[in-house]
Amino acid sequence: MTGFVTLEMRRSLRDVRYLVIAVALPIGLYLLFAGLFGSHGQRAQGLPQSVELMVAMIAYGAMWAVFSATGPRIAHERAIGWTRQLRVTPLTPASALAGKLGTALAVALPAMLLVCLTAVLSHHVALSAAQWLTLLTVMWAGVLPLALLGLAIGYLVTEEIAFPLLMALYFAFGSLGGLWMPLSAMPRAMQDIGRALPSNGLAELGWRIVGGQASVSTAVLVLAAWLLGSALAAWLAYRRRARMATS
Amino acid sequence: MIYCSQAISLTYRLGLLDPDQGQVQVYGRPAAHAVAAGLVGAMLQDAGLMPGVRVGELLAMVRSLYPRPLPLDDLVGVADLGSLLRRRVDRLSGGQAQRVRFAAAIAGDPQLLVLDEPTAAMDVQARRNFWQQIRAFAGRGRTVLFATHYLHEADDAADRVVVIAAGRKIADGSPSAIKASFGDRQVRFTVDPGSPVSLAALAGVRAVEQRGTRVTLHSSDPDATVTSLVGSGLQWSDLEVGGLDLEASFLQLLGGQS
């Protein structure tokens, strides 16, 4: 199991799609937006631009990291028969599944940390050690629903569909979820949709933590709902494939 | 020991599918448990390899899944992978990929190695090398069970052959025993077209195949068949007498079924 997860992580970290979209893109967007809007301007959350954007881009990068390590990869491995081959080794299907999930969460971490590093170096973002720790831990845990969603899609759809579908979700969750621009700048109806998305829930958790606000109930509820829904979908999709056995 | 069986039963044997009735036991336990205990290794038809990694990394990972893996050097030697360990899995030729699949299947030093149509995509040379590797593995006291559509492969490689047709076992034994159980021999010769004599009426003949001017008689008594052929007044040439091959035996078996 350790050998399996280690190799999964190593190949994920070498994956060009991961490096470009989950690591380079959020850093680039951070530098672009934070540079454009200035370090001191404030947005709706009452946080400095540089901090608010940092949280948004942590969420954005982590989202693609877990998507890229699950959906397209699982669909591809089903198509080429690697999943089947793995099933005739002592690695149990449940361990393989847990390994995928663990890998997805593990590769989210470098993407998150590098955005923080960029923010500190380029815009001198300064948080207390406790704030950094809480921010990263809570947001890391908050990625779980997205990882499960990627898993479900990997087992549900074919290889050709998995990548574009997750790419579309990534951009939709990013833009509608208020990671590119604040929800408050959008029409009322769009705001309601945005608040129901896991990407917004994830960023909202981060904004509340760095803003020192205690109440995070809505964001937690949204993420919990996505967690349950995604876990259920992933479990059903996985069971269906296991029963078909051929893929 | 090398056995040959039929494809579909292999997926049951490995616990990939649950049978509608009954149960499949391997080494005294359910198939899936035997797989989990590392007693079974398998090369499935069209099974892929983990993308985006090197051959050496892949084999190290697969070995780590088993309680008593083969030493990496043995693996490299048996599957002839010396120069491939640093190669990316996605950049292997068909034959190289098949060798890596073979190495992955025996990485755990399984008691039972299951091969489903293992040589389907191989050229003649690769096929020959492959069966040499399989014999070397079986020579370590391991059992190899394979399914194939190439009956001459079963004839050459297997110690025991089980023939399954329409879901029933119709023969079970060594290739020579199956062939001998018919007692039939083949008498082949070339004959002028339009000969008046009925070939089926010759002594000992049980079946007649004719392609153009080339005739193959299945005979229970080849001596008598040849004697009556000589006395028949037919114009014939290029006489050959020989045993049935496994493929011909198999066709007779199937013919006996219907």
ipTM of this complex:
0.81
Q: The domain spanning residue B133 has which CATH number? A: 3.40.50.300
Same domain membership, residue B136 and residue B228: no
Domain holding B208, by residue range, is 181-257
Is residue B116 one of the residues assigned to a domain? yes
B28 and B143 part of one domain:
yes
B48 CA to chain A: closest CA distance, Å? Answer: 4
Chain B contact probe: residue of A10, A12, A18, A85 with most B CBs at under 10 A? A85
Tokens read off for B161: 């052959």
- The verdict on A188 touching B (C-beta cutoff 8 Å) is no
More confident residue, B147 or B6: B147
Contacts of A15 in chain B (CB under 8 A): 52
Three-state DSSP at B171 gives strand
Tell me, what amino acid is at B183?
G
Q: Examine the domain organization and report whether B129 and B10 are in the same domain.
A: yes
Number of alpha helices (DSSP H) and beta strands (DSSP E) in chain A: 13, 0
- In total, the C-beta contacts within 8 angstroms joining chain A to chain B are 79
**Domain identity same for B69 and B134:** yes
Q: Which phi-psi region, left, alpha or beta, contains residue A124 (left: φ > 0; alpha: ψ -120 to 50)?
A: left
Show which of B134, B149, B164 is a domain's final residue.
Answer: B149
Q: What is the pLDDT of residues A1-53, one digit of tens each?
A: 788 999 999 998 888 888 888 888 988 888 888 887 765 555 656 788 888 89
What residue segments make up the domains of chain A, in order of their start? 2-244
| Predicted local distance difference test score (pLDDT) of residue B2 | 59
Residue B44: closest C-alpha in chain A: A85
Q: How far is B42 from chain A (nearest CA, A)?
A: 6
Is B23 a domain residue?
A: yes
Partner-chain residue, chosen from B51, B53, B65, that has the shortest CB–CB distance to A91: B65
Inter-chain touch B11–A245, beta carbons under 8 Å: yes
CA distance B175 to chain A (A): 29
B163 assigned to some structural domain: no
Do B86 and B32 share a structural domain?
yes
> The domain that contains B191 carries what CATH number?
3.30.70
A81 vs B48: CB contact, 8 Å cut-off?
yes
Find how far residue B116's CA is from the centre of its chain: 9
Kindly state whether residues B145 and B185 are assigned to the same domain.
Answer: no
Residues B248 and B131 in one domain: no
pLDDT at B258: 42
Give the tens place of pLDDT for each residue, B55-98: 999 999 999 999 889 898 888 888 888 888 889 988 888 888 88
pLDDT over threshold 70, residue B252: no
Strand residues in B98-251 grouped as ranges (E): 112-116, 143-147, 160-165, 168-173, 185-191, 205-211, 214-219, 236-243
Pair B252, B196 in one domain: yes
Query: How many Å apart are CA A24 and CA A61, to the nearest integer?
Result: 9
> Sign of dihedral through CA atoms B12, B15, B16, B18?
positive
Residue A61 Cα to chain centre, angstroms: 6
Cβ atoms of B127 and B115 closer than 8 Å: no
pLDDT, greater one: B156 or A122? A122
Q: Which of B99, B125, B149 is the last residue of a domain?
A: B149
- Contact of A155 with chain B, judged by CB distance below 8 Å, is answered with no
Closest residue in B to A242 (Cα–Cα): B16
- The helix/strand/coil state of A41 is coil
Distance from the A94 Cα atom to the nearest Cα atom in chain B, whole angstroms:
12
Q: Is residue B233 part of a domain?
A: yes
Q: Mean pLDDT score of chain B, rounded to an integer?
A: 80
pLDDT in tens, A193-203: 998 999 999 99
Say how many domains are in chain B: 2
Q: DSSP assignment, residue B25?
A: E
Final residue before a domain boundary, out of B129, B149, B169? B149
On whether both B135 and B230 belong to a single domain, the answer is: no
- Flag whether B159 is in a domain: no
Our measurement of the distance from residue A120's CA atom to the centroid of its chain's CA atoms, rounded to an integer in Å, reads: 21
Same domain, B117 and B203: no
Question: Which amino acid appears at position B194 of this protein?
Answer: G
Residue in A with minimal Cα distance to B53: A11
pLDDT of residue B256: 56
Q: How confident is the model at residue A151 (pLDDT cuts 50, 70, 90)?
A: very high
Residues B188 and B128 in one domain: no
The first and second tokens of residue B237, run together, are 């040439």
B104 and B203 fall within a common domain: no
Burial environment of residue B258 by CB neighbours within 10 A (0 to 12, 13 to 18, 19 or more): exposed
For the entire predicted model, the pTM comes to: 0.80
Contact assignment for A81 to B40 by CB distance below 8 Å: no
In a domain, B167, yes or no: no
**Residue B209 sits at the chain A interface (C-beta within 8 Å):** no
Let me know if residue B170 belongs to a domain.
no
* Averaged pLDDT, B130-134: 86
B154 in any annotated domain: no
Residue A85 to residue B44, Cβ atoms within 8 A: yes
pLDDT of residue A246: 46
